[in-house]
A and B are shown apart, each in its own frame.
Chain A
């Protein structure tokens, strides 16, 4: 499932569990290009809005029995495709080449020693420029129609282009800042190869989102808890733009805010035209905290009283159907390893 109901031009990033996958997404967003990260084993339908696909790195070695084996039959040769690190190795090994353990493992800095400057992907990627490597395997051989487009001293196949297709593999990580021309490489892929029009701007996001919220919420009432922080404030303004006074905001004074914060923030919310109710619940919080010295129990008491106050206030909004929340993308991205299991538990080999 994609995040937006109305599809828009995007790059699909298939995640194999690399620590850098989110960085690829952020670099693309910086190019005003929308993208989504999906686990390699849950490839969404390839619709016409998908302009290209990027395969991430991975803590796995392609030589492992348990290594991911994505089904690229709907993608490779049909859409522009860029494999990074593991992604590049997978496409080398799986289509007739060979991946073997490196004699010299490459972690960290390396410099390009050869660049095919006639290749579209390598425009403005300078010979000798620094690239960031993180791999214990190396591509030992590739089929004949794979053309080498860059190399380092130690790695001949640092980048290849499969002739006759818009398919590329890059051994280093263009998404990290330490790859000095990496942003150019990604831009070449997204703009010149995938032909994305770079129209994903804050303004475009607001238009799309407000239209979708209108469609989804109709005449329903929504309740949203404001904290004074960035996420809940921006979420509130977006919802307000879509449904106006059907958005009922609740801002609780727990008696533990900064000096004058409650009044100041409440006034600034009202100035933005938000339908916001300030609830003074100081005494309830102080009472629940009375004599409590244990940090964990203090936190729990504050959380409990907040839920009670918020519940009570929510009930006063008749026929409310929705609860608005300021959840952001890093909380949403589905992990390759399933929820609650961090990649940090794995040895990062790519």
Chain B
């Protein structure tokens, strides 16, 4: 199918796109949304992807993002997410030994995505997110925080 291309934002810089969006009364939740990679959670699940892994990651990610929003930290962060690692480790929950997945939280500050630094989120905040994820998401028993800047690391893990 041969289609001609029409690009109504060709004249605008990114911050101008947001200003135009605002004047069009577009929902702030869309305009202030963090950048999100095209392949989505597919590249935040390290290794092979299954529907079950997507479900686990969605739960953990939603706890992290909603906590950022409710703590008023969301707009100070350029991009945030959770990585589901292909690593299992031993834990103990109640009287039972567990052997479940580890995740890494990632939150970076940046102005253009070309360079980025990890966000110095408050310890109390990280402690609460870690606790919430481990208690509520079955399949995760360990939470880590990624403290690498870009460069040399990248924002995403894959």
Taking Cβ atoms with an 8 Å cutoff, the residues of A that contact B are: 3-4, 22, 25-26, 29, 34, 36, 201-203, 205-206, 209, 213, 216-217, 222-223, 227-231, 233-235, 237-239, 241, 254-260, 265, 268, 271-272, 282, 285-286, 289-293, 295, 298-299, 302-303, 306, 311, 314-315, 320-330, 332
Contacts and interface: CB of A to CB of B under 8 A. Distances in A.
B121 interface: no
Contacts of B138: none
A258 B62 contact: yes
Contact of A259 (B36, B59, B158): B59
B20 interface: yes
Which residue, A203, A206, A256, A321, has most C-beta atoms of chain B within 10 A?
A: A256
A160 B158 CA distance: 52
Contacts of B5: 322-325
Given A234-B24, A256-B54, A329-B13, A323 B4 contact: yes
B79 to A, nearest CB: 12
B6 A314 contact: no
A229 B36 CA distance: 8
B58 interface: yes
The 7 closest A-B pairs by CB, nearest first: A256-B40, A202-B23, A295-B158, A259-B58, A323-B3, A259-B62, A327-B7
Contacts of A227: 36, 38
Contacts of B50: 286, 290
B31 interface: yes
A205 B12 contact: yes
A259 B81 CA distance: 12
Nearest to A317: B1
Contact of A298 (B26, B43, B54): B43
A335 to B, nearest CB: 16
B17 A328 contact: yes
Nearest to A217: B6
B41 A202 contact: no
A272 to B, nearest CB: 7
B8 interface: yes
B18 interface: yes
B6 A329 contact: no
Interface of B: 1, 3-24, 26-27, 29-31, 33, 35-36, 38-43, 47-51, 54, 58-59, 61-62, 65, 158
A329 B12 contact: yes
Contacts of B31: 230, 233
Contact of A323 (B6, B11, B27, B30): B6
B81 to A, nearest CB: 9
Given A29-B13, A238-B8, A291-B48, A258 B58 contact: yes
Contacts of B15: 26
A227 B37 CA distance: 10
Given A254-B40, A258-B41, A258-B62, A314 B1 contact: yes
A331 to B, nearest CB: 8
A265 B27 CA distance: 10
B104 to A, nearest CB: 16
A46 B18 CA distance: 31
Given A3-B10, A202-B22, A259-B62, A322 B4 contact: yes
Contacts of A22: 13
Given A234-B20, A298-B42, A322 B6 contact: yes
Nearest to A204: B23
Given A268-B30, A315-B1, A320-B3, A328 B19 contact: no
